[in-house]
Structure 1
């Protein structure tokens, strides 16, 4: 996507609403298998790096729905056992016959959980069909 001057635009940051910063930071540390990149307690902010896109946990953000790519949705749910409510068990939603929305020849698996703050989070994995 480009802006009016033709410069490339890319997603820089996504914010997710949190009530308890420590609890949310712990949840996303387990889910993402990485520590936060920055934390500002006075402002109520925690940042994670998602391959160049910042995930901002923010007490003042509106609720959103994140879809996060994982290697395997079953393994991700196992890591989150006791930390997240499963909204929807892993299931195949689509098999990609082109590269338009995912890698050709791969099944797209999704599962949904509720994070520590009550937000829905979609877990997405692409596995060869």
Structure 2
């Protein structure tokens, strides 16, 4: 078994794409009004607009994607103004520095780096 894709539910695909393109600094590998993906070393991060299929989805907090960066403090400075809400600023947790923000669709996104101190 191999992890292929992790995706979050979104209400507004264009708004979500704008946020994640800015967050990732990259264009999506594939994008349409129903499902869009960003490629990460063999695992995709997807955005699913359930309304395109008539499915009912509770938005926000339906998945917590966790992204590793080289410097959580520097990344926080960049992302804090981009995100609609900072859930919590940079904290130390068991050898990691991490923070959480909420995306435009209400989902929590966590970003961390390994604490080298």
Conserved 8 A contact 2:70-2:114: yes
1:28 lines up with 2:16 in the alignment: no
Q: Which has the higher helix share?
A: 2
Structure 1-normalised TM-score?
0.75
Q: Which runs of 5+ in 2 are unaligned?
A: 51-56
- Which residue number corresponds to residue 99 of structure 2? 111
- Which residue number corresponds to residue 94 of structure 1? 94
Equivalent residues, number: 107
Q: Secondary structure at the match of 1:40?
A: coil
> Greater Rg, structure 1 or structure 2?
1
d(CA) in 1 for partners of 2:35, 2:29: 11
Q: Which runs of 4+ in 1 moved over 4 A?
A: none
- Which residue number corresponds to residue 6 of structure 2? 14
Structure 2-normalised TM-score?
0.82
Q: Choose which of 93, 102, 114 in structure 2 pairs with 1:126.
A: 114
Q: Secondary structure at the match of 1:38?
A: coil
- Which residue number corresponds to residue 71 of structure 2? 72
Q: Secondary structure at the match of 2:23?
A: helix
Conserved 8 A contact 2:23-2:82: no
